[in-house]
Amino acid sequence: MKELTDDMLDEILAKSSMEYFIHREDVGEVIITFTSGIRKIEPGDTDSAGRVWNPKIVDENGNPILDRNGKPLEQWEKYEATGMINGVPYVYSFGGKRGSQLKAFILAMKANNIKNEDLPGTKWSINRVNRWDWDIRYLGKDNSTSQSQSNNIDLFRNALKSFETDRTEFTKNEIITYLSFATHLPTSEISEQWNEIVNSGILIQRGDKYSIKRE
């Protein structure tokens, strides 16, 4: 029998695929620190959890699924962002562009002069009052996210060091794809930290190709 250390617990979280957080009416207030900006995921795109988004518009019998107005559902895009809730990483769902949730949050961002590119590292209280109404408050910057991103860089560095291959050069996309496979983090999150990965010194750039620095 072996007790898990804090580092081992963090590693388990890092290697687990992210779960979606759906803010249903019975949830109430949620305190979240965002680690990405809001992303638009269209049908056929890979979402923040690394899954292909194909919204269900027919039932198991092939019959059209109807919306609240009795009209057949059509393919639709969704909006989401990654964030930390109670120390656990989630993909926070904002639903579709016609929903009240996305509009309410955008209004709160504008009220606090926060652009989408500035959303990572900000802390929010999001309270679902009822089916249509939201109480959203900006709580300021959360410096703990910088530590989380630093832990990711260590994770990427270790994954690349243990990458066994006879090849010596790789494209950016090949490295991101491998890191996503090795760490179970979405490619979108790895792409956002690409410059940090390169600047960490583990990669050597030659034109548009990269080699792994072996020590």
- Could you list the beta-strand ranges (E) of the chain: 19-21, 29-34, 39-41, 78-85, 88-95, 122-128, 134-141, 203-206, 209-212
Fill in the DSSP letter of residue 109. Answer: H
Contacts of 129 (CB under 8 A, 6+ apart): 135
Q: What is the pLDDT of residue 98?
A: 76
**How many angstroms separate the CA atoms of 40 and 46, rounded?**
10
Q: What is the pLDDT of residue 54?
A: 87
Exposure string over 102-124, b if 16+ CB within 10 A, otherwise e: bebbbebbeeeebeeeebbbbbb
Query: Long-range contacts made by residues 109-118, C-beta under 8 angstroms, separation at least 24?
Result: 111/138, 112/138, 114/138, 116/37, 116/38, 117/37
Structure token pair of residue 115:
């652009």
Chain position carrying tokens 């680690």: 35
Fill in the DSSP letter of residue 134. Answer: E
pLDDT digits (tens, 9 = 90+) for 141-165: 876 655 556 667 888 888 888 887 7
pLDDT confidence tier of residue 18, bands split at 50, 70 and 90:
low
Q: What is the pLDDT of residue 26?
A: 85
Structure token pair of residue 66:
């109807």
Going from the N-terminus, what domains does the chain have, and what CATH number goes with each?
18-141 (no CATH), 144-212 (1.10.10)
Q: What is the pLDDT of residue 147?
A: 54
Q: Is the pLDDT of residue 174 over 80?
A: yes
Angle subtended at Cα 55 by Cα 192 and Cα 79, rounded to the nearest 5 degrees: 35
Q: Is the pLDDT of residue 15 over 80?
A: no
Is there a contact between 50 and 181 (Cβ–Cβ < 8 Å)?
no
pLDDT digits (tens, 9 = 90+) for 22-56: 898 888 899 999 988 899 999 988 888 777 888 88
More confidently predicted of 139 and 190? 139
pTM confidence score: 0.61
Q: Is the pLDDT of residue 91 over 70?
A: yes
Which of 103-107, 153-157, 187-191 bottoms out in mean pLDDT, i.e. has the lowest?
A: 187-191
Structure token pair of residue 209:
């190709």
